[in-house]
Amino acid sequence: MIRVLSGLFWLALYLAVVLSPLLLMLMPPTPAGRTFSTELSAALGFIGLAQMGLQFVLIARFRPVTEPYGIDIILQYHRQIGLASLALVSSHAVIAIAERPALLGSLWAPGGGRTALLTGLASILAFVLLAGLSLGQRRLRLGYEAWRVSHALLGLLMLGLATAHVVHVGHYVSPGWKRLLWVAFAALMAGVLAYLRLLQPLLQRSRPYRVVAVEPDRGRTWILAVEPEGHPGMRFLPGQFAWIKLGNSAYTFQEHPFSFSSSAEVPARLEFGIKELGDFTAGIGETRLEIRAYLDGPHGSMSIDRYPAAGYVFIAGGIGITPIVSMLRTMADRDDRRPALLIYADDAWENMPVRDEIEALARRIALDVVWVLESPPEAWQGETGWVTAGLLERHLPDERIQRHFFVCGPNPMIRSVESSLHGLGVPSRLIEAERFTLV
Ligand SMILES: Cc1cc2nc3c(=O)[nH]c(=O)nc-3n(C[C@H](O)[C@H](O)[C@H](O)COP(=O)(O)OP(=O)(O)OC[C@H]3O[C@@H](n4cnc5c(N)ncnc54)[C@H](O)[C@@H]3O)c2cc1C
């Protein structure tokens, strides 16, 4: 209930900030003799700018803001609404220029009009570049860290230029306090970015961790263990994740999200199961012992502690097992006897991370495991192929709506499992999914 109320509160605050420019526009003195389309253009521009500014808050990982919705949903929203803001500010420019094509002439005439136009157009250009780099990151083979630096810099540039545009155009921002409000808004949003990139690392430096183990597991996966240095460690809910930085500096842009795979009952030693995938994870096995680690977390809302139920169904694909094994280990440490079913799919028996641990857990708690192999060995008697509706139908308990469902794996698997579960009568409110791709 508290989460719902807090979610509604942040939504109301968000809408209030986005719509407040309209209120400001209506407050006298207002410019006289303007057409409807000119007013519309101004309104679109102001709302677009307010949305653009608020994106800095959305990505700042403030837990009270992200918790009610889940950080993946917030980032998804950031992506969609970012594009919507681009559409708003572009429509603002198109309508304004269509209404008064002579405006373009001021590009060549020195003076305030030219600065106003140039700052506006440059801001939209920065926005287009930012959106293009985000949408085309993979195709352009732009590394994640380079993309992140460019995203932050272009975001700041676009906000600064757009605010300068508002101040130079001067409509609806006199008297001076209205101008000041817009400048303060932009400064506050830039301050939020400074908090994320400068203040947070400083706080992390006062709560460092040290790498105490890097051990190989099946399927090109490594178990990285860290222990807190000079503080009690991080309390997390089983199923949550943290952003991890390895090495001496907390100021690096090389920061990756990984789910805790250890028990939430043991905060003095945190473990992560990390699969070799790209630049950073390919070298994870070479991480030196005793080096520093900095953690930003815990984040995420996929946890048995958030969704009390009579029992659970966990569905994992490949490395998606990590948050699930954390929940199972925590249940074992708490001597939690509620029934749990794990459906764990991977390509081959030999590649399944934490397989031995799961077999051991099945002896400690009321856990049934269904192994699903894409390429089974010859004598394999168990399930094969994908996690289909038919497979789920064969194994789900009859009292399935008494249980809560957690799904983690590749995106296509999550989509297909969610739709199969719906088909089998499991409502969305009983299904939580964790996606390992945020960008
Ligand atoms: C909530 C969450 C929990 C995760 N838990 C685990 C886990 O327990 N075990 C595990 O092996 N993997 C996990 N991942 C995935 C892991 O973060 C990526 O595999 C890793 O960051 C890839 O980095 P790379 O440089 O090796 O690969 P790259 O080839 O650079 O990246 C591969 C893809 O991973 C994503 N990615 C890369 N860097 C980041 C980053 N810093 N932040 C967000 N996404 C990034 C991008 O989509 C990128 O296209 C999780 C991801 C998320 C979002």
pLDDT digits (tens, 9 = 90+) for 336-363: 999 999 999 999 999 999 999 999 999 9
Please state, rounded to an integer, the average pLDDT across all residues of the chain. 92
Residue of 66, 436, 437 best suited for mutating to test ligand 1, as the one with most atoms within 8 Å of CB: 436
The architecture that CATH gives domain 209-299 is Beta Barrel (2.40)
Please, which contacts does 59-66 make with residues 24 or more away whose CB atoms are closer than 8 Å? 59/196, 60/192, 60/193, 60/195, 60/196, 61/196, 61/243, 61/296, 61/299, 63/299, 64/6, 64/10, 65/10, 66/299
> Rounded to the nearest 5°, which phi and psi values hold at 142?
-85, 125
34 CA → ligand 1 middle, Å? 51
The answer to whether residue 388 scores a pLDDT higher than 70 is: yes
CA distance 340 to 301: 19
Give the pLDDT mean for 202-215: 96
Contact predicate 225/280, CB 8 Å: no
Residues with CB under 6 A from ligand 1: 144, 241, 255-259, 272-275, 277-281, 300, 319, 322, 434, 436-439
Q: Which of 107-116, 338-347, 379-388 has the lowest mean pLDDT?
A: 107-116
Q: Is it true that 209-299 and 311-433 share their CATH fold?
A: no
CA-nearest residue, atom 52 of ligand 1: 436
Residue of 76, 78, 134, 144 best suited for mutating to test ligand 1, as the one with most atoms within 8 Å of CB: 144
Residue of 151, 245, 279, 438 best suited for mutating to test ligand 1, as the one with most atoms within 8 Å of CB: 438
Q: Residue 401 is encoded by which pair of tokens? A: 């709506």
126 CA → ligand 1 middle, Å? 27
21 — pLDDT class (breaks 50, 70, 90): confident
The answer to whether residue 423 scores a pLDDT higher than 80 is: yes
Residue of 256, 294, 432 best suited for mutating to test ligand 1, as the one with most atoms within 8 Å of CB: 256
pTM attached to this predicted model: 0.87
Q: What is the DSSP string of 56-109?
A: HHHTTT-HHHHTTT-HHHHHHHHHHHHHHHHHHHHHHHHHHHHH-GGGGGGGSS
Burial pattern 84-121, b for ≥16 Cβ within 10 A else e, equals ebbebbbebbebbbeeeeebeebeeeeeeeebbbbbbb
288 CA → ligand 1 middle, Å? 20
Give the pLDDT mean for 81-107: 90
CA-nearest residue, atom 7 of ligand 1: 258
CA-nearest residue, atom 13 of ligand 1: 258
Q: Which of 1-10, 124-133, 179-188, 302-311 has the lowest mean pLDDT?
A: 1-10
CA-nearest residue, atom 48 of ligand 1: 144
Q: Which of 106-120, 262-276, 419-433 has the lowest mean pLDDT?
A: 106-120
> What kind and span of H or E run contains 241?
strand 241-246
292 CA → ligand 1 middle, Å? 20
- pLDDT, residue 288, reads 96
The answer to whether residue 438 scores a pLDDT higher than 70 is: no
Give the pLDDT mean for 33-44: 87
- pLDDT, residue 439, reads 58
Q: Which of 101-115, 386-400, 414-428 has the lowest mean pLDDT?
A: 101-115
Which range among 29-33, 62-66, 435-439 has the greatest average pLDDT? 62-66
Cα 134 from chain centroid (whole Å): 14
**Does residue 65 or residue 185 have the better pLDDT?**
185
Q: Residue 381 is encoded by which pair of tokens? A: 């008697």
Contact predicate 230/282, CB 8 Å: no
The answer to whether residue 6 scores a pLDDT higher than 90 is: no
- pLDDT, residue 279, reads 86
Which range among 8-17, 67-76, 106-115, 312-321 has the greatest average pLDDT? 312-321
333 CA → ligand 1 middle, Å? 28
CATH classification of 311-433 is 3.40.50.80, yes or no? Answer: yes
Helix, strand, coil in percent for the chain, rounding step 5? 50, 15, 30
The answer to whether residue 3 scores a pLDDT higher than 80 is: no
265 — pLDDT class (breaks 50, 70, 90): very high
CA-nearest residue, atom 51 of ligand 1: 436
Give the pLDDT mean for 271-294: 95
22 — pLDDT class (breaks 50, 70, 90): confident
CA-nearest residue, atom 5 of ligand 1: 258
- pLDDT, residue 409, reads 94
The answer to whether residue 144 scores a pLDDT higher than 90 is: no
- Residue ranges of domains in the chain: 2-204, 209-299, 311-433
The answer to whether residue 414 scores a pLDDT higher than 70 is: yes
112 — pLDDT class (breaks 50, 70, 90): low
- pLDDT, residue 26, reads 81
For residue 253, what are the contacts with CB-CB under 8 A and spacing of at least 6? 145, 148, 149
Give the pLDDT mean for 366-374: 97
